Amino acid sequence: MSLENFAGPFDVLLSLISQRQMDITQVALAAVTDEFIAYVRTLRETGLERALDEATEFIVIAATLLDLKAARLLPAGEVEDDEDIAMLEARDLLFARLLQYKAFKDVSEVLAERIEAERSRVPRTPTLPPEFAALLPELVFTTTPERLAQIAEKALTPKDAAPDEVSTDHLHSFQVTIRDEAETLAARLMPGAPLPFTALAADAESPLVIVVRFLALLEMYRDRVVAFAQDAPLAELTVTWIGTDPGWTPERLAHDDYRGAADPPAETAVTARPAESAQPARPAEPAAPAARAQPSETDQEQTPA
C-alpha cells in the first residue's frame, strides 16, 4: 500500500475501496480493514500523527471496520441486543458518510477540471469600434430635478386609508312581491273580459316582474278566482276572472315570496292542484271554465268552485 498523504480517514478508506474496485455499500467493506489498521499504525511509526481529534476519527472508523469484520466471521443471526443494533447504526452511518465524502470529492474534481480549462480563455476587453459607436443614438435625460422630486413625492405619499364600511348605494334590487302583482292583475281582470298573458305582462319592467306575475296567476288560480284557456299547445294563454267572492283580496294568497314559501295547509293542498295549473298545454281544471272562449258564455256558465 502506498503511503501517500491523505486528507483524512475517509480519504484513506475511499482510496482502499477504489483500489479493490468495491461497492461502498457492500458488506465486503471489512476486507479493507487490515489495510486501514496498517495505515493507522504507519502514521504512528513514521511520526506523522495528526491532531488528537483527527486521530480519534481514525480510531472510531477502525473500530467500526473491526466490528463489521467480526460480524462477517460469525454465523448470521437475528439482532438480539443493543450492541448489535449500535453496530448496525454505526455501519449505516459509515456508509452514509463515505457516500457523502465521495460525492464531494467527485464534484471537486469536476470543478478543478473546469477551472483548468477556463485558464486558457481570455475575455475580450476592447471597446466598441468607433464606426459602430457612432450609430448609437444619443441618450438625452430630459427629466428635471423638480420632476424627479414630484415623482418621488407621489411614490412615497401614503395611500388613502381603507374605508370603514362599503357603500351599497350603487346596488339596486327589484322590490317585487306576488301580492303586489296579484293586485295589479286583479284590477285588470275583474271587469270580466278575458285577457291574454302577453297583454298582462306587456308593461313589465324586467323579466323578473314577468316571472312574479305568472306566479301570482298560479296563486290566484289556487284560490279559484281566475281560469286558464288555451286553444292548442303553445298557443296564447288566456286568463279569465271567475271570482265570485267580493271580499277576496291578494292578502289571502298563501305565498308572497317568489323564491318559495312554506307548504300551504292540508285542506288547501287537497283542493288546489298547482302542478296541473303549471301546464297550459292541457285544459286547466275546472274543465267547464277552461273551455269557455266567448265572454257572453262565460257570464252565463261561471259558477263558484
The 3-state DSSP class for residue 240 equals strand
Separation between Cα atoms, residue 201 and residue 211, nearest integer Å = 9
**What is the number of residues in the chain?**
305
pLDDT in tens, 127-137: 888 888 888 88
Least confident segment among 106-120, 136-150, 210-224, 273-287: 273-287
* Cell, residue 270: 287537497
Which comes out higher in pLDDT, residue 47 or 102? 102
Amino acid identity, residue 274? Answer: P
* Cell, residue 9: 480517514
Separation between Cα atoms, residue 209 and residue 40, nearest integer Å = 99
What are the beta bridge partners of residue 226?
241
Give the residue ranges of DSSP H helices in 231-294. 266-271, 274-277, 287-291
pLDDT in tens, 106-125: 888 899 999 998 888 877 77
Domains of the chain, residue spans? 9-118, 178-301
Assign 3-class secondary structure to 216-254.
HHHHHHHCCCEEEECCCCCCCCEEEECCCCCCCCHHHCC
| Greatest mean pLDDT range, 16-25, 29-38, 125-134, 166-175 | 125-134
Separation between Cα atoms, residue 185 and residue 228, nearest integer Å = 14
DSSP 56-69: HHHHHHHHHHHHHH
Inform me whether the pLDDT recorded for 54 exceeds 70.
no
Inform me whether the pLDDT recorded for 154 exceeds 80.
yes
Q: Which CATH number fits domain 178-301: 3.40.50.300, 1.10.10.10, 2.60.120.620, 1.10.10.580?
A: 1.10.10.580
Cα dihedral 12, 18, 19, 24, rounded to 10, equals: 90
Phi, psi of 195 (to 5 degrees): -130, 140
The number of C-alpha atoms within 13 Å of 148 and in the hemisphere containing its C-beta is 5
> Once rounded to an integer, what is the mean pLDDT over residues 204-232?
89
Q: Report pTM.
A: 0.31
Under 8 Å between Cβ of 41 and 34: no
pLDDT band at 63 (very low <50, low <70, confident <90, very high): low
Q: What is the pLDDT of residue 146?
A: 92
DSSP one-letter code for 28: G
Separation between Cα atoms, residue 280 and residue 272, nearest integer Å = 16
